[in-house]
Structure 1
């Protein structure tokens, strides 16, 4: 039986605290709100006067959060954001007015949680979520924007009742925790909705049975395709948002996914804070998220995206077909072994010229050979395997340069994969 780890000293740094969090709980994920709510009450966590937006979904959460943040900031509101996971540094998880907080502030938040949790066991994510909320309440903010980690109903973020709950999409992922069926996954995500509070669904094919259940709970969400919609204009540089009572024309086409921009605008409508069309335009233009449709210019071009399931991979493929057509694509892919590897690679295959599969380290990381075998069952494209992402990336770039034409190196499959690409590349 393992011993309970000792909490870091008062002078310990962020790395020591993160190691402590990793060792504190016997499992990485344990769904349930009882423990988190108990510690939140001891911390006296309350948003106060701040409005709260909670964003759940299989894919699209990060970009929706970023749209909400940049538009609200352009409108003059103060914002606090909590996201997970981080791409490179833990400090990415909390932003106040778009700025990351420093390591010492995170340490102080961890100390605050540790001082009140007593013998209540918390997972890494739960501990970090409580610390993030503690940090947000240290500032007098107008809006908290909270990204759900997994599911919704039993996720630690759901210990706060949101003024506006948002579901971006519903796909198959985290099967071990959420089950293999869209209906069950949608039900878990819909657990963030509360009677009497606003709800927004950006998933166009939301299960009817779950909508009926929400109706029985007196929850009537605004739905894409029913209560709001969007359309790309023929000039390919602008789009229109179409609501039930208003139309916003000539909005700038954003870098991040357009469906999530429309969902964010409906969420802002429901938040009922005044936001001008000029602020919306400015916020859309400034919305950027590392590792989400992140295109780097050069020869070859490099596209980074954390797509790691079939739903996200399908969107990524459609994006490449629409914006970078007829370009040879050299795909650097590393994945976790508990993901739908076959489905994800099949969704990417239509645009891939050559695969460069990479091992991912750690107990959850899949071997490159596993990916190569999964693809070989369906496709005849050339493939190579590498011991790490850096080697695969170097090989893909070299192969792309040899083409003597404009080419694309795509890096995707996991947050871990994209995080291995230097920020300066």
Structure 2
């Protein structure tokens, strides 16, 4: 028989083991994931919840087509009815006639079939098909949204990692300079002011490194989110070649965007669906013809006299034509509402066209400037390196002071940062340009 006291003594040990194991798991470094841009895009399209949600929306809209098409087919239902009433009773309220009540038990089936509703059902089916098509285009638009975020996060991560390398090189170079100036100061060849200046520069470089490392972690988190994942990871990314220069004129891109953007296709289909639904609402004012058939058995019925004269089986068929006359203006209001919804869809489409034209021109201008920055920042870096070498030589010959040297070092760091920013900015801007014209694959 187990001892409760022994169990109580073992509980803290077990709890400590569980907490220690959990702490060990949480303390493990995030996995390193090797990726290139193509793999990152494929992962995002496969895993991102927005893409999956849009795909489920398409599946739901396809079911709506079947829902509206159901009116084309007969409806069959079965019934079993048993009733009991006081003898010779009739229903006195709620009906225009006074039907008799009988104790009875019966079962049967009812068949109903729409003959025509003056075109309303075909218009509703067409509306559903157009809405499903719009949902399919929305899936493609969602994929484009995911892809452009992946591209931006990917190049943002590459930029952050490159900035860390620049910061590390800057810290190493300035640490070496501090060591050299300190040694010269100890030998009486440099002033204490020189040591103070290079110490300040070293501290600035260390701050730059801390900021760069923080940006890398933020970039990793953003890339993880864009991939449709929540698992923490560090990334080893492959650098991508620079894309070609943007075209000299944006107008061809505008024309391409107006035919290639899935958002426009989705809104066009939604607009067409709105007009078909307006026609369907108009059809409410026209006659509807339907067929109804019944059949079954009545094994028991309590008659007032014998022998029984009510047949044991029953069957019947009827055609009903319903002609709307007055309903308080309901159908007119529904038709007008559908008309205004269609006009609204027209304006939403127009607004999207204007937004896309603006986005293309803005993205083209930004990518053009970003492309021009590549040569400018490369030249800036070359000039900064040359100026730093000259400043170092002048300082070694005691022809200049420490301020000139430290300023040249700062210029080199800033130029290196501008140069890497220009590279990854252009790659990101070019991806955005491809997105705006519907060419991001």
Normalising by structure 2, what TM-score?
A: 0.17
Higher RCO structure, 1 or 2 (CA under 8 Å, sep 6+): 2
Larger fraction in helix:
2
Normalising by structure 1, what TM-score?
A: 0.17
Bigger Rg over Cα: 2
